Amino acid sequence: MATLLAAVAAIGVLELAVPTPAGATPPGIPSAATARSELATLTVAAWTHTTTYNRDLFPTWDTISGTCDTRETVLKRDGTGVATNSACTATSGTWHSPYDGATWTAASDVDIDHVVTLKNAWVSGAWAWTTSKRESFANDLTDPQLIAVTDNINESKGDKSPDAWKPPLTSYYCTYARMWVRSKYVWALTVTSAEKTALTSMLGTC
């Protein structure tokens, strides 16, 4: 009987260990400890050039390989079983949006979110960049700056920073904050006091 109970217990542990869909996993996400250290080094400053933002100042999407542009590259990276046609358009696949936990089977239901929004980048330092540098930022596949998510969730985020918008799933606060901080750190962008407070709180959930 003891052996049977031990076997049942082991099976239970195995069942609990089966991972749930993690959704998109952009590259370069730092540990919580590293994100806290990076956040501490960011310059705290108020937004500037708030009336001069224009999305066209951040060219998207670049051709990455063959006929595939940045959006299509992220769709393939973040999706499962993604099939594309000769134009690199996704014709089938499954996408799990980590912001809200939704799963989609049509690429048209998925947006590629700029984790640090383009307008936020502009008002926190990118106004001083060349157009070429802004293009690199808007198409950054090296850092955790681009992620496939539910389209209307991305629309609800708009240009908001973490003090004004957070992912619907509180369980994703930690990862979202780590991504946001890394992008700001890599690109040497500033944070507002409210933004830093929100990020600190979100990192506290890690």
Instruction: Work out the average pLDDT over 84-108.
Output: 96
Tell me what percent of the chain is helix, strand and coil, each rounded to the nearest 5: 45, 15, 40
Half-sphere exposure for 173 (CA within 13 Å, toward CB): 16
Q: How confident is the model at residue 24 (pLDDT cuts 50, 70, 90)?
A: low
State mean pLDDT over 182-195: 98
CB of 111 within 8 A of CB of 149? yes
Contact 114, 108 (CB under 8 A): no
Of 109, 98, 99, 92, whose CA–CA distance to 22 is shortest?
98
Q: Tell me what percent of the residues of the chain surpass a pLDDT of 90.
A: 88
pTM for this model (two decimals): 0.87
- Cα 77 to Cα 5, 137, 143, 187: the distances in Å are 42, 18, 13, 23
Q: Give the per-residue pLDDT at 25.
A: 79
